[in-house]
Structure 1
Amino acid sequence: MMANIRAIASNTKNSPDWYKRLFAWMMAHGNAKYEEEIADRKRALFAELHGNVLEIGPGTGPNLSYYPSDIHWIGIEPNIFMHPYLEREAEQIALDIDLRFGTAEHLEVEDNSMDAVVSTLVLCSVDNLAAALQEVIRVLKPGGRFFFLEHVAAPQGTMLRLIQHVIRPLWKTLGDGCHPDRETWLALENAGFERVNYQHFRANLPAIVSPQIIGVAVKKV
């Protein structure tokens, strides 16, 4: 299976139930190769998670095994057909979770209440990226951190960037809103965080979604 299933499935709130159910199944069964490849990066990224942690679009729970057992975890997942897979994963690793329905642009979480927010392969598909990042900032405590791992646009002027741009309308339709050429790092830099640290890398994925970024953004104190 293509490992970008995670990104494609993250914005299914307006899709028919058969579509949501299909992608939940595909996420649960089709991402093992990508997760194995990215494991060391995730392990390093999540090493210092603590306290109240909100995950946006947790899907079927591929990140749960990286979290310490003493955190208070809240997940906002718009596809209800992901929920049983995620709950099963949490039960297997004995992690208590608070799983809720919602979207990244409207987080049902109190202001200044989260020590950390996590997003992996989600921001490519949110309807309004700027609004989603403002919600992240709103719910983070002062000094709280936003941990992200996202596929992004290829560099300007490259053939891959041109292909991403040309294929975007079809890709969005087939991928339920996924933007293959979204400059997510620029949105992060302009969102109003105190600082944003990230690196670009290429994942072993189909070329369209192989450019990725990983990093941490910190809310102003």
Structure 2
Amino acid sequence: MMTVNQIIGDSQNQINANFGKRFFAWIMAQSSSTYNKIVSDRKRSLFANLQGKVLEIGPGTGPNLPYYPKDIHWIGIEPNPHMHSYLQKQAKKLGLNIDLRIGNAEWLDAEDNSIDTVVSTLVLCSVPNIDYTLQAILRVLKPGGRFLFIEHVAAPQGTVLRQVQSAIRPTWQVIGDGCHPDRETLIALENAGFASINYERFDAQLPIVSPHIIGVATN
């Protein structure tokens, strides 16, 4: 039987977690325009030819919505419910019909072989298990379907930045809703089982998470 102190402690933890998610949603809403200025041209090019069913994992407050064609069937899987109001407001402003669902990246609320394109921007850094997430993406993609990504990645081994990323990881995960600044995302992508991966590296000129990759993985 749980004691009163255990119940109070668990309740306080839930309150703290809820506040953290609400605060992170607010921070993302305020800062997304700054990041978009850095990657807007790349997003415009990456998302130019989207069609059919597009599933975005972790769409957050909706910073990618302005770059999408208006005639796609957009599905969003967003685990943080405090992001939803920001995203819905953005979609209404743009005149987009969206299908927003609560879920997580390890278990995507979509049928097998049903999605034309999966999109992820700054999400793979924070999922609890990146390998499970990539297998979920492969499961829902149609044969020949594409996974489009823009992600920050670990700096090269032995560099000062990599040492800083690893040292700051525990604190960064708390303030970044689980973000791993030194995650080897590219290695996970290469080992996931996609038929092909085309990507390029670029420097986003950001503190800690400046190394980025952008690309397309085909099922």
- TM norm structure 1: 0.90
2:213 is paired with a residue whose SS is strand
Q: Does 1:136 align with 2:152?
A: no
Q: Do residues 16 (structure 1) and 5 (structure 2) align?
A: no
Q: Partners in 2 of 1:130 and 1:112 — Cα distance?
A: 18
Q: Aligned partners of 2:23, 2:170: CA distance in 1, in Å?
A: 22
CA RMSD of aligned residues (A): 1.5
Number of residue pairs matched by the alignment = 206
Distance 2:98 2:130 in 1: 26
The structure richer in helix per residue is 2
Does the 8 Å CA contact 2:115/2:145 hold for their aligned counterparts?
yes
1:158 Cα deviation from its structure 2 partner:
0.9
How far did residue 14 of structure 1 move? Answer: 10
1:97 and 2:91 equivalent? no
Residues 124, 15 of structure 1: CA spacing in aligned structure 2 closer, same or farther, 3 A cutoff? farther
C-alpha displacement at 1:176, in angstroms? Answer: 3.0
Pairing 1:49-128 to 2, within 5 Å after superposition: 49-128=50-129
User: Using a 3 Å threshold, how does the CA distance of structure 1 residues 15 and 104 change in structure 2: closer, same or farther?
Assistant: farther
Aligned residue identity for 2:210: S
CA distance in 2, matches of 1:161, 1:167: 10
Q: Which has the higher contact order (CA 8 A, sep 6+)?
A: 1
Q: Which residue of 1 aligns with 2:205?
A: 204
Judging changes above 3 Å, is the alpha-carbon distance between structure 1 residues 14 and 164 closer, same or farther for their aligned structure 2 residues? farther
4+ runs deviating over 4 angstroms: none
Q: Deviations over 1:51-88 (max 9, x none)?
A: 00000000000000111111000000001011011011
- Would you say the 8 A contact 1:34–1:204 is kept in 2? no
Q: Which amino acid aligns with 1:134?
A: Q
Q: Which residue of 2 aligns with 1:4?
A: none
2: CA distance between counterparts of 1:24 and 1:65? 19
- For the residues of structure 2 that align with 1:176 and 1:77, how far apart are their CA atoms? 13
2:194 maps to what in 1?
Answer: 193
Distance 2:173 2:16 in 1: 13
Query: Which of these two proteins has the greater Rg computed from alpha carbons?
Result: 2
**Cα shift readout 1:129-155 (whole Å, capped 9, x = no counterpart):** 000000000000000000000011001
Secondary structure of the 2:113 match is: coil
Structure 1 portions without partners, runs of 5+: 1-12
The separation in 2 between residues aligned to 1:60 and 1:90, in whole angstroms, is 10
What's the offset of the Cα at 1:163? 1.3
Question: How many angstroms apart in 1 are the aligned matches of 2:182 and 2:15?
Answer: 22
Which residue of structure 1 aligns with residue 3 of structure 2?
none
The residue number in structure 2 matching 1:10 is none
Q: Distance in 2 between matches of 1:29 and 1:177?
A: 19
For the 8 Å contact 2:60–2:87, the answer to whether it is kept is: yes
Distance 1:25 1:176, change over 3 A: closer
Question: Which residue of structure 1 lines up, in the alignment, with residue 213 of structure 2?
Answer: 213
* Distance in 1, Cα, partners of 2:15 & 2:140: 25
Quote the offset at 1:22 in angstroms.
1.1
Distance 1:217 1:82 in 2: 27
